[in-house]
Amino acid sequence: MQLTGIHVVLTYQCQFECGHCFIWGRGGHSGIFHPDGLAVVLDQAAALGTIKEICFEGGETFVYYPLLIAAVRSAASRRFRPAVITNGYWANSAQQARLWLERLVTAGLQRILFVAEGLGGAAEDLTAHPAVVVSQEMGLDTAIIGAGERAGGQMSGLGQAGWPQLTCGRVRRTPGDGALYPWTTFTTCPYEQLASPSHVHIDPFGDVHLCRGLIIGNIFDCPLASIAAYHAPERHPIVGPLLTDGPAGLVTRYGLQPESAYTAACQLCRHSLAQLWPRFPTRRAGQPAIGGAPCED
């Protein structure tokens, strides 16, 4: 595994509880990065020697604004390219947007990604949103992404009409989307490079996720360099079946109970993982995560 980017889940907290949210962000969640934990992530990322970008995401990153500024500054000081993902709730005017962005730009922020669903409706011109306009004016590499893209790490450019339908998170069916396909048709993971990912997500508890809930290690137990070096996807109880037969492979491997049809692979995947969570040890009660392989260092 040769990582070039790390998505740091700064917090699982968010002021919203969107159906599409692939990390189940919500208010009151206990997952918030401690500054000491952030330093561990950044130091381990630097030790890898291959990381170019550190992207801070949530939850909603701006709800812990002082922490976000410190995180961006720390990443920039280690010569990473700092990026942030936000729903843009903090800017109802250009003046407000400037107030929020000035300190981040000073701290070294280079790239900002707005989740489309947070900016407005699908019929609106999201490129005219004040947060987007001001970000561009301030010289930030600016993009609007859809929720499905966020989950899969695929970024779209500004001005793209519409966005992928809700495929992850709490909602397993896309409201209003009548296109349903038999579960047997979802034989590949359409988004994540599970065998050799270019990026991973690291959450406030130190868990390293390939996709939300697909944990391959914990940086507080085992250095990221070792986790990357010993990544053995075919031996992972979830990643292995996903690689060979996609989400449908999870159903057959573990004898799960799927619905007859789904709108997207991720919906079947998430429904399958929800059934699998009780079978795998979890670190924290109530956290939808599947444990990774033990440290082999």
Q: Site residues (CB under 6 A) for ligand SF4?
A: 151-152, 168, 189, 191-192, 211, 214, 242, 247, 265-266, 269-270
Nearer to ligand SF4, 23 or 107 (CB): 23
| DSSP state for residue 279 in the 8-state scheme | G
Find the shortest distance in angstroms from Cβ 20 to ligand SF4.
Answer: 12
Nearer to ligand SF4, 266 or 276 (CB): 266
Beta bridge partners of 202: 8, 208
Cβ-in-10-Å burial (0-12, 13-18, 19+) of 139 comes to exposed
Nearer to ligand SF4, 199 or 270 (CB): 270
Find the shortest distance in angstroms from Cβ 270 to ligand SF4.
Answer: 6
Nearer to ligand SF4, 63 or 269 (CB): 269
Find tokens 């508890």 and name the residue: 205
Phi, psi of 145 (to 5 degrees): -125, 155
Find the shortest distance in angstroms from Cβ 202 to ligand SF4.
Answer: 16
**Closest alpha carbon to 265 in 146, 165, 195:** 165
Find the shortest distance in angstroms from Cβ 53 to ligand SF4.
Answer: 20
Find the shortest distance in angstroms from Cβ 293 to ligand SF4.
Answer: 17
Q: List helix spans (H) across the chain.
A: 35-48, 65-77, 94-107, 116-119, 130-137, 147-152, 224-229, 239-254, 265-276
Let me know the angle formed at the C-alpha of 24 by 18 and 26, rounded to the nearest 5 degrees: 70
Find the shortest distance in angstroms from Cβ 134 to ligand SF4.
Answer: 32
Nearer to ligand SF4, 3 or 210 (CB): 210
Find the shortest distance in angstroms from Cβ 268 to ligand SF4.
Answer: 8
The identity of residue 275, as a single letter, is Q
Nearer to ligand SF4, 115 or 242 (CB): 242
Find tokens 């950044």 and name the residue: 42
250 three-class SS = helix
**Closest alpha carbon to 220 in 17, 44, 5, 13:** 44
| Strands 261-262 vs 181-182: parallel, antiparallel or unpaired | antiparallel
Question: Which tokens in the block code for residue 43?
Answer: 């130091």
Nearer to ligand SF4, 24 or 80 (CB): 24
Find tokens 């670190």 and name the residue: 283
